[in-house]
Structures are given as structure tokens and as C-alpha cells.
Amino acid sequence: EVQLLDSGGGLVQPGGSLRLSCAASGFPFTSYTMNWVRQAPGKGLEWVSGISGSGDAAFYADAVKGRFTISRDNSKNTLYLQMNSLRAEDTAVYYCAKDIYSGRVGYFDDWGQGTLVTVSS
């Protein structure tokens, strides 16, 4: 059974940093692109970033490019999202999501439970 456990959310001031983690189990982690998808309070879903199974290709939405960095540790089956220069509009629940592809971003067949990031002074 696929399990994705998101963690690392919290309250951070504008301009601050936060690192999210997603611990994965139940599938061959290196075989799949992994993604972060977010949902602002009361709003829809927004893909944020993805990283290929090998970790050699990273993809970002324009809204976070240059501020967020996605990475993965395949020895620990863990996905990360380093978020810098945070803004109020980054406030959202962040979901880790497993892709169906290995080398690109496609669509997402398994999701974590989400972790809430609140950017506020």
C-alpha cells in the first residue's frame, strides 16, 4: 500500500523559510516523479513543483520559481520542498503527490494527507 506522510508545515513570517518533507513507502520510490500540490484556504488545487525519479530534473510553477527548491533523498525515500522568501499568498495546505511517470510531470495517483503552511506576521 502506498503511503505518503507530509510534515514540516507551520506558521512563518513573510520573507521567512520553511522546509516540507514527505516520507514515502509501499512503492519503488526511484521509479516515480514526485510532486508538491497546494491548496489555499477555500480555493482550488495548484501544482507547485515536481522532481523526476532519479532526481536529475526539477520542474516549477512560475509562481514559485526562484524561491522554492524541490529535492529528494532516494536512500531515505523522502521528498523535500525548501521554501524561501515566503509570501502571504503561499499560505496553503501542501500535498505531496506521487506521479504516474518517472521522468516528467503528469498526473497524480496517490497523495499525502497535507501539511498547512501559514505565512503571516
By CB under 8 A, name the binding residues for another protein.
44-47, 59, 61, 95, 100, 104-109, 111-114
Query: How far apart are CB 16 and another protein at their closest, in Å?
Result: 26
In three-state secondary structure terms, 16 is coil
Give the nearer residue to another protein in terms of CB position, either 53 or 112: 112
Nearest distance, CB of residue 80 and another protein, angstroms: 19
Cβ proximity to another protein: between 80 and 95 the closer is 95
β-bridge pairing 34-39 and 3-7: unpaired
C-beta atoms surrounding 86 within 10 Å: 22
- Looking at residue 62, what DSSP letter applies? T
Least spacing, CB of residue 97 vs another protein, in Å: 8
Q: Residue 90 and residue 117: Cα distance in Å, rounded?
A: 8
